[in-house]
């Protein structure tokens, strides 16, 4: 049981390049999230998904896109990378526990992707 | 817009000291408050609080929520160097799907 797996761990992009950050979870979680964390700051939600085929914007979606074609995978796409997108990106997932409050399960985080745009 | 503010921003203590970390929040239709510990990589879950006045405890860590005054504290007693980390507080509203995180408190425990 690997939990939440993110790839790559590190990446350097030039301004205007594009890339996809991969996220996969093997816990059969319905809910998946992408956050970014800037130095010394908390986590800001970029996009989230409540299940396959459903995605929604978070606080800071501009410059990013997501898709959720399967329960396991939730890739984050950066088009036309900008220096402002230099950050650490975390993917997270949580279950929908039918036995309890479905909104009160904790997040499980991946180890992050450190992205630098120069 | 939901808001979470943590204090202090950073803290340096010596092993054996007791620390209290603060988290205040403004959220429409509060549902739960969560504490995470972040060392070098991913945040790891510590506590989830939904009811006022009920202390959650795990070893030397404990946390309590005050829904009337809109804050929570995280206490760490007999600190160890392994407690050095950033501690994150987050709140969830009744819409349920999003967590709003505070900026974190960076704790350094010196030997």
What's the start-to-end Cα distance of chain A, in Å?
Answer: 36
In terms of DSSP bridges, do strands A113-117 and A10-13 run parallel, antiparallel, or are they unpaired? parallel
Q: Does the bond joining B8 to the residue before it have cis omega, within 30 degrees of 0?
A: yes
Q: Percent of chain A scored above 70 by pLDDT?
A: 92
**Is residue B106 classed as helix, strand or coil in its secondary structure?**
strand
Q: Tell me what pLDDT residue A101 has.
A: 60
CB-based contact A43 B45, cutoff 8 Å: no
The nearest alpha carbon in chain A to B50 belongs to: A104
Q: Tell me what pLDDT residue B50 has.
A: 86
Backbone angles phi, psi at A104, to 5 degrees: -115, 30
Confidence grade of residue B78 (pLDDT, cut at 50, 70, 90): very high
| B70-to-B20, B23, B67, B87 alpha-carbon distances in Å | 16, 9, 5, 18
The nearest alpha carbon in chain A to B2 belongs to: A59
Q: Does the bond joining A116 to the residue before it have cis omega, within 30 degrees of 0?
A: no
Q: Which residues of chain B have a CB within 8 Å of the CB of A40?
A: 103-104, 106
What's the start-to-end Cα distance of chain B, in Å?
Answer: 41
pLDDT tens digit string along B12-37? 999 999 999 999 999 888 888 999 99
Q: Percent of chain A scored above 90 by pLDDT?
A: 76
Confidence grade of residue A10 (pLDDT, cut at 50, 70, 90): very high
Q: DSSP of B20-35, one letter per residue? A: EEEEEEE-TTEEEEEE
* Nearest residue, CB atoms, A107 vs list B31, B99, B106: B99
Cα within 13 Å of Cα(B58), Cβ side: 8
What distance lies between CA B10 and its chain's CA centroid? Answer: 13
Q: Tell me what pLDDT residue A106 has.
A: 80
What's the gap in Å between the CA of B87 and the closest CA on chain A? 10
What's the gap in Å between the CA of B23 and the closest CA on chain A? 13
Q: Where are the beta strands (DSSP E) in chain A?
A: 4-7, 10-13, 19-25, 31-37, 43-51, 54-57, 64-66, 76-78, 87-94, 108-109, 113-117
């Amino acid at each position: 049981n690997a939990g939440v797996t993110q790839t790559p761990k590190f990446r350097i992009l030039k301004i205007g390049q594009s890339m996809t950050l991969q996220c996969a979870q093997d816990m059969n979680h319905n809910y998946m999230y992408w956050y970014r964390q800037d130095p010394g700051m908390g986590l800001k939600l970029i996009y989230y998904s409540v299940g396959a085929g459903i995605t929604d914007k978070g606080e800071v979606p501009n410059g990013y896109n997501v898709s959720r074609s399967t329960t396991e995978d939730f890739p984050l796409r950066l088009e036309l990378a900008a220096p402002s997108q230099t950050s650490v990106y975390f993917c997270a997932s949580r279950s929908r526990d039918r036995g309890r409050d479905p909104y009160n399960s904790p997040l499980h985080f991946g180890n992050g992707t450190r992205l630098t745009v120069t | 817009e939901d808001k979470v503010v943590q204090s202090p921003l950073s803290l340096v203590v010596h092993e054996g000291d007791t620390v209290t970390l603060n988290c205040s929040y403004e959220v429409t239709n509060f549902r739960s408050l969560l504490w995470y510990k972040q060392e070098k990589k991913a945040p790891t879950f510590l506590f989830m609080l939904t009811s006022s006045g009920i202390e959650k405890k795990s070893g030397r860590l404990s946390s309590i929520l005050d829904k009337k005054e809109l804050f929570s504290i995280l206490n760490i007693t007999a600190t160890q160097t392994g407690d050095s980390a950033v501690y994150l507080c987050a709140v969830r509203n009744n819409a349920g799907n999003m967590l709003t995180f505070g900026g974190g408190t960076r704790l350094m425990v010196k030997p």
